[in-house]
């Protein structure tokens, strides 16, 4: 599997609406998992919000999105996007992780998640937030 870099958009309670909008324009497959479905809600207010969502279209269009949890600050200029890297190879993701983690703040250790064999999030030494995971399909 080739390496994929995807724009990961972050919203406050609008991720599903945005993904539905993009899906309507670009077509393809829409996937959405709520905090509640993943048993990851830290508050009742987050239960119906999206923890993970994406639109993958046959024409190559790809976008990911989630709702920033209510406990974290957010506005259109704060936590508005991540750089997401996906690969089918755990070794490749682990290698990128090790290098990006030098001098970084780890937000989520690289480890298995409910949607991926490996998933992790960090803010690199330049302030860029990276999301790395092993793609399952």
In terms of C-beta density within 10 A (0-12 exposed, 13-18 middle, 19 or more buried), how is residue 33 classed?
A: middle
Residue 120's pLDDT is 97
Domains of the chain: 4-134 (3.10.180.10)
Are the C-beta atoms of 22 and 91 separated by less than 8 Å? no
Q: Could you read off the pLDDT of 37-64 as tens digits, one per residue?
A: 999 999 999 999 999 999 998 878 899 9
In angstroms, what CA-CA distances link 26 with 39, 60, 95? 30, 9, 33
Q: Could you read off the pLDDT of 90-120 as tens digits, one per residue?
A: 998 999 999 999 999 999 999 999 889 999 9
Residue 1's pLDDT is 60
* Token digits of residue 133: 């995971």
């Amino acid at each position: 599997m080739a390496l994929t870099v995807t724009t990961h958009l972050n919203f406050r309670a609008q991720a599903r609406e945005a993904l539905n909008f993009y899906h309507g324009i670009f077509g393809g497959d829409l996937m959405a998992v709520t905090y509640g479905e993943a048993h990851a809600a830290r508050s009742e207010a987050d239960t119906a919000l999206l923890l993970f969502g994406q639109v993958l279209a046959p024409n190559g269009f790809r976008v990911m999105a989630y709702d920033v949890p209510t406990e974290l600050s957010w506005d259109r200029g704060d936590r508005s996007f991540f750089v997401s890297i996906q690969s089918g190879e755990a070794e490749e993701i682990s290698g990128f992780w090790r290098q990006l983690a030098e001098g970084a703040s780890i937000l989520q250790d690289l480890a298995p998640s409910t949607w991926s064999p490996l998933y992790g999030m960090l803010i690199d030494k330049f302030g860029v937030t990276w999301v790395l995971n092993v793609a399952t399909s």
